Amino acid sequence: MGKRWVNGLLSRLFILLILIGVGITAWWNWANQSYSEEGSQPAAVQFNITPGMTAAQIAEELEREQLIRHALAFRLLASQQNADAKLLAGEYQVSAHMTPQALLDKLLEGPVVHTVKVTLPEGYTTAQIIDTLVSKGLGTKEEYKKAIENEPFEYSFLADTPTGGARLDGFLFPDTYFFDPEARPKDNINRMLKRFEQEVTTEVNTKLAEMNLTLQDWVILASIVEKEAGKDADRPIIAGIFLNRLEIDMALQSCATIQYVLGTQKYVLSLEDIQVESPYNTYKYPGLPPSPIASPGHASLDAVLNSTESEYLYFLATPSGETIFAKTHQEHLQNQAKYMN
């Protein structure tokens, strides 16, 4: 009886192993097919490998861009061919019609287009971004101005943005890009907008609805946090302070919005500065300014969505770069006397 039971168990285990093997083989075959059939996706798209990206990171990006079916399968394929150290930064022309092996072969050929590397830091204004692109020989100020004001750029997140030159403020996502030197300025702008689109996930939209914030509100708040926060750890706390102020209809009193109006960075604002007439003067006018004051990065966008709950209503940055928080105006005045003199 015992022997028959053992033999039966071994038989079942053998069958289970066969089924597992069949399942893995089926998954591997599925994962190594092209993502889409001919005609169902654009014939070719741009794919960028940024400096320092590993094969694992590239695989995740390829899956997110819907160019491969499964990141793990691509990672295994790359590992089998020792491709991690062979993948070079740059811009590639690839297609969802390619199998993972064909796509890997294309990436191993190296960038096929000469590109211009441009790093756009977090917190840049639209004007600073344009100046940087122009300095790299990627078009003229006039071309960018015309594109911003006149091109449709049909993204849902731009639906509530103001018209004119401030239309794309906050949405030209800060990142390292590899631009085609022959591309038109509107194409370069589209690259940055497409990168911002990656931040607008289903989870983000759900969270914004829960917070009763529009997408435009989100980017405006994040842009202020971007300019106010000196350290990453401070971002969620500062975001929470601004949300607290909005909740009680208290003016945001952001020095960064005054500096935006003045067009200059001043460590200490004068009484005259905070009386400047502008809808961006958050000392005079409650609520959010009309549009973002800079392009926020992922950390500041995330800080608004995942702010730190606290009773703080005030903060100040010390000359040493430390941020001091306070719950009351009296405590804030004491901190000013202690740290700013």
**CATH architecture assignment, domain 45-108:** 2-Layer Sandwich (3.30)
Distances (CA, A) of 30 to 19, 284, 330: 16, 60, 65
Q: What is the pLDDT averaged over residues 219-242?
A: 97
Least confident among 59-73, 128-142, 225-239, 305-319: 59-73
pLDDT for residue 270: 85
Residue 287 has pLDDT above 90, yes or no: yes
Whole-number pLDDT of residue 321: 85
Token output for 141: 């100020």
Cα dihedral: 73, 77, 78, 79 (round 10)? 100
Residue type, 109: E
Of 242 and 42, more confident: 242
At which residue do the structure tokens 């005054």 appear? 258
113 pLDDT band (50/70/90 cuts)? low
pLDDT at 297 over 90: yes
Q: SS3 string of 163-225?
A: CHHHCCCCCCCCCEEEECCCCCHHHHHHHHHHHHHCCCCHHHHHHHHHHCCCHHHHHHHHHHH
Query: What pLDDT does 39 receive?
Result: 46
What is d(CA 38, CA 96) in angstroms, rounded to the nearest whole number?
9
Report DSSP letters for 35-91, one per residue.
SS-TTSS-S-EEEEE-TT--HHHHHHHHHHTTSSS-HHHHHHHHHHTT-GGGPPSEE
Task: Tell me if 230 sits within 8 A of 320, measured CB to CB.
Answer: no
Residue labelled with tokens 């700013």: 340
Instruction: Please name which of 85, 92, 82 lies closest in space to residue 62, comparing C-alpha atoms.
Output: 92
Token digits of residue 125: 């204004």
List the domain boundaries for the chain. 45-108, 116-197, 213-339
Which residue, among 193, 202, 229, has the nearest Cα to 304 in the 3D structure?
Answer: 229
Paired with 48 in beta bridges are 91
Contacts of 67 (CB under 8 A, 6+ apart): 35, 45, 47, 94, 95, 96, 98, 103
Cα 303-307-309 angle, rounded to 5 deg: 165
How would residue 305 be classed by pLDDT, with cut points 50, 70 and 90?
A: very high
If 0-12 CB within 10 Å is exposed, 13-18 middle and 19+ buried, where does residue 239 land? buried
Give SS3 for 229.
coil
More confidently predicted of 279 and 31: 279
Q: What was the pLDDT predicted at 255? A: 93
83 vs 34: CA distance, rounded Å: 19
**Stretch 128-136: mean pLDDT, rounded?**
97
